[in-house]
Chain A
Amino acid sequence: MRSSRLAAPTALLAAATLALAGCGSDSGSSGEVRLRMIESLTSPERTKLIKTLIADFEKANPGVSVELVSPPLDSADQKITQILQTKKDLDVLEVRDHTAKSFSNNGWLAELPTDAWPGWADLTDLAKKKTVEVGGKPYLIPYGFYQRTLFHRTDWGLTQPPKTWQELYEAGKRMTSGDRFGYSFRGGKGGADYAVMMISAYNGEALDPEKSFFLKDKRTIFATPEAAQALDLYVKIFKEASPPDSVSWGYPEMVQGFTSGVTGMLIQDPEVIKTVEESGVKAWSTAPIPKGPTGYAFQPVGYAGWGVTSFSKHQKEAVKLVQFLSESKQSIAFAKGNSLIPISKQAQNDPQFSQGAWKAYLEAQQDPQQVITIRPVDYPGWSQFNVDSDRDVQALITGKKTVAEVLTSWDAFWADQGRKVS
């Protein structure tokens, strides 16, 4: 009697539990394979483009469907990390250069088979190199690269783009008057990246590109007198050639500064090409990033790509999806849609990647003194340094810290990291 009275609510509870558990099910009723995929660098246009590529994949692979999860950009990596910690319901994910090491360290990424995949031969050398950059194993296939270039107005009295940081400072100072400023300075999130770029250029040949925060003699790049010269100039560029407000500028503000006619120069990724083309700015051009007095410029190539989780129940299909997205047709479409440096050799024949604003990239690639470096993302303190160094840069340009204080603390931090890793 009693048990029959309890049967209804118990059944209801059981049904609700099953329904909740079924939310993340990965197999359709008719034996169809359903993959779950998550992106990180989310934007509305990009999501639309990925969905189009996924639709093509589904068409080419009947019986496989893909559900795309698109978390908001600012918290996407945290969300991906949380999902990975549960080791549930995720097959394909976007892996960034910042996250690749920790994801692989924790055993969340599967190695991707590259030998038997015909598309491997079509990848550029850079793409192949970055595929196995973390631990020498293919945990992701990049979908494109972010490399910085100098955007500059050609109607603000600048006949030639600045070739060195010193020239950039002088040109910026000349451009600055009233509501116009020479340079889109990044003082907010990601600002320390630019300080490191200058410090690297001032260290020149002594720098070890494979371990870009260290010199060939194993000291850190922050321990030299050249580093202090670079940071001194960095502060001068802010104070004399940039909007005072740029102490808090991040990516959107610095781009907006350039496209709205507030600033005359900007150093940014190729995705900005599209933004500038669509803005009202008519007279502009691009050039390789400035060099230091050593004649060298150093910068890392930012990248992200698609990877497969180690706990995916549909490894075969997930790998198939990653390979499909990395094939020339799809990867070129993705690179075009997002203004990225493509991973496919075939893209070199595409006029979009060899003309106009893109020419600066070709120019940089052909210059042996425009050197690509590897960020120290495989050091345990990398993430913490990103947070702290941005703070330090703001403290430096607002006069709360001196050049010596900043460099001493960075040097101590990385010397300690060097000991930990070696």
Chain B
Amino acid sequence: MSSVARPAFTARKARFIALCLLPGVIFVVVFTYYPMIRGAVIAFQRYNLFDLTSTPFVGLENFRSVLAEDRFWTALRNTGTWVVVSLFFQFFLGFGLALLLRRQFRGRGLYQAWVFFPWAMSGFLIGLLWRWMFNGQFGVVNDLLLKAGIIDERIGFLASPGWAMTSVIVANVWYGVTFFAIMIMAALQSVPGELYEAASVDGASRLRQFWHVTLPHIRPTLALIVLLRIIWILNFPDLIYAMTGGGPAGGTDIVTTFLIQQVIGGDYGRAGAVGLLVLGLLLSFSVFYLNVTRFERSR
């Protein structure tokens, strides 16, 4: 009896759910998949803004010209530095902050709001802010270091490739620590209290509790947020673009600022090629990372 009525009900329900999902699906297709596919197609065309009346397919020509450029390889090397160093400091400082903020103390809410504030700002705005702060002549960072007696003369933070890379990483760490602090704090709060109680009864020190109770419990979350953050840092040219424009002389160029330069130069074909190369790089890395961390098997 019910076995006859049920399929009809399920089909109706499915249609209704599909109808409810339709606007969202249309939105994602129009604003995410269409530009992505269009960008991928453009990568195989001569597509220069100077003249869009002729956009012939040129096969792998855009990829060849990008890969033949020293600047691309420099940008790729810089990307490695930018991601690894930023991630290292963001992760450990964020972890420390999360552990601190987990405790109860007066004004904790205010302190949390103050710590999380950078995450609410746009990357470009942060870049502009730090660009002025790091200015060699009238920047506040130089002023503070001079007044504190740490330095004798002003440092041109954005004037040499080494200092410029350090400066953009400092700004990125300031921005990204917050994300790790929020996510790790949420993960820490999910660890059941009775596990700590049991560990205390067994005589485990705080360090052993952290190592044997806290870490195993939050490891899947850590693996996921590290992967997310790697992808986001690599796809975060806003800060660098506003701070240094990729300079001096390409010293802070990463693959995504290199891509922006192709767009500004009007060569959308090459920009599309760089975009696809970045996508390939991220996909390969993600597969490798998930295999290494055996994320799919973690609880």
- Chain A residues close to B by CB (< 8 Å): 2, 6, 9-10, 13, 16, 74, 78, 81, 85, 101-102, 105-107, 179, 187-189, 243-248, 250, 253, 256-257, 260, 262, 380, 382-384, 386-388, 390-391, 394-395, 398, 400-401
In Å, the complex CA distance between A247 and B267 comes to: 27
In Å, the complex CA distance between A390 and B161 comes to: 15
In Å, the complex CA distance between A107 and B19 comes to: 40
With both beta carbons as reference points, the residue of chain B lying nearest to A383 in the complex is identified as B266
Pick the contact of B249: A78, A245, A394 (CB < 8 A). Answer: A394
With both beta carbons as reference points, the residue of chain A lying nearest to B51 in the complex is identified as A105
Whether B50 lies near A380 (C-beta < 8 A) is yes
Indicate whether A105 sits within 8 Å of B53 (C-beta atoms), given known contacts A245-B136, A383-B266. yes
Whether A9 lies near B20 (C-beta < 8 A) is yes
Pick the contact of B138: A256, A382, A387 (CB < 8 A). Answer: A256
Whether A9 lies near B136 (C-beta < 8 A) is no
B39 on interface, CB distance cutoff 8 Å: no
Indicate whether A16 sits within 8 Å of B23 (C-beta atoms), given known contacts A102-B266, A383-B266. yes
Q: Write the nearest CB–CB distance from B246 to chain A, whole angstroms.
A: 8
14 contacts between A and B (CB under 8 A): A9-B20, A102-B50, A105-B50, A106-B49, A247-B247, A247-B248, A248-B164, A260-B137, A383-B264, A386-B264, A387-B265, A394-B247, A394-B248, A395-B250
Q: Write the nearest CB–CB distance from B203 to chain A, whole angstroms.
A: 58
The segment from B151-159, B170-178, B182-190, B290-298 found at the interface with A is B151-159
B244 on interface, CB distance cutoff 8 Å: yes
With both beta carbons as reference points, the residue of chain B lying nearest to A252 in the complex is identified as B132
Q: Write the nearest CB–CB distance from B170 to chain A, whole angstroms.
A: 16
Whether B53 lies near A245 (C-beta < 8 A) is no
B244 contacts across to A, CB distance below 8 A:
248
CB contacts under 8 Å to A, within B246-277, are 246-250, 261, 263-267
Pick the contact of B159: A13, A248, A250 (CB < 8 A). Answer: A248
Interface size on B, residues (CB 8 A): 41
With both beta carbons as reference points, the residue of chain A lying nearest to B22 in the complex is identified as A13
Q: Write the nearest CB–CB distance from A402 to chain B, whole angstroms.
A: 13
Indicate whether A391 sits within 8 Å of B265 (C-beta atoms), given known contacts A74-B124, A105-B51, A106-B51. no
B81 on interface, CB distance cutoff 8 Å: no
B247 contacts across to A, CB distance below 8 A:
188, 247-248, 390-391, 394
User: What is the total of A-B residue contacts with beta carbons within 8 Å?
Assistant: 113
- Chain B residues close to A by CB (< 8 Å): 12, 15-16, 19-20, 22-23, 48-53, 71, 124, 135-138, 154, 156-161, 164, 242, 244-250, 261, 263-267
Whether B250 lies near A262 (C-beta < 8 A) is no
Whether B22 lies near A245 (C-beta < 8 A) is no
Whether B249 lies near A398 (C-beta < 8 A) is yes
In Å, the complex CA distance between A10 and B266 comes to: 42
In Å, the complex CA distance between A246 and B16 comes to: 63
Looking at B49, B51, B250, the one whose CB has the most chain A CB atoms below 10 A away is B49
B160 contacts across to A, CB distance below 8 A:
247, 398
A395 contacts across to B, CB distance below 8 A:
249-250
Indicate whether A260 sits within 8 Å of B250 (C-beta atoms), given known contacts A102-B50, A102-B266, A247-B156. no
In Å, the complex CA distance between A193 and B112 comes to: 47
Q: Write the nearest CB–CB distance from A389 to chain B, whole angstroms.
A: 11
Whether B137 lies near A245 (C-beta < 8 A) is yes
Whether A248 lies near B249 (C-beta < 8 A) is no
Q: Write the nearest CB–CB distance from B25 to chain A, whole angstroms.
A: 12
A398 contacts across to B, CB distance below 8 A:
160-161, 248-249
Sorted nearest first, the 4 A-B pairs with minimum C-beta distance are A245-B136, A384-B265, A395-B249, A394-B249
Pick the contact of B53: A107, A386, A394 (CB < 8 A). Answer: A107
In Å, the complex CA distance between A390 and B261 comes to: 11
A101 contacts across to B, CB distance below 8 A:
50
Whether B23 lies near A13 (C-beta < 8 A) is yes
In Å, the complex CA distance between A401 and B22 comes to: 56
In Å, the complex CA distance between A388 and B164 comes to: 19
In Å, the complex CA distance between A262 and B247 comes to: 23
In Å, the complex CA distance between A189 and B162 comes to: 19
B159 contacts across to A, CB distance below 8 A:
244-248
Whether A262 lies near B53 (C-beta < 8 A) is no
Whether A253 lies near B135 (C-beta < 8 A) is yes
A380 contacts across to B, CB distance below 8 A:
48, 50-51
Whether B52 lies near A248 (C-beta < 8 A) is no
Whether A188 lies near B245 (C-beta < 8 A) is yes
With both beta carbons as reference points, the residue of chain A lying nearest to B27 in the complex is identified as A20
Q: Write the nearest CB–CB distance from A376 to chain B, whole angstroms.
A: 12
In Å, the complex CA distance between A253 and B244 comes to: 12
Whether B266 lies near A384 (C-beta < 8 A) is yes
In Å, the complex CA distance between A395 and B263 comes to: 22
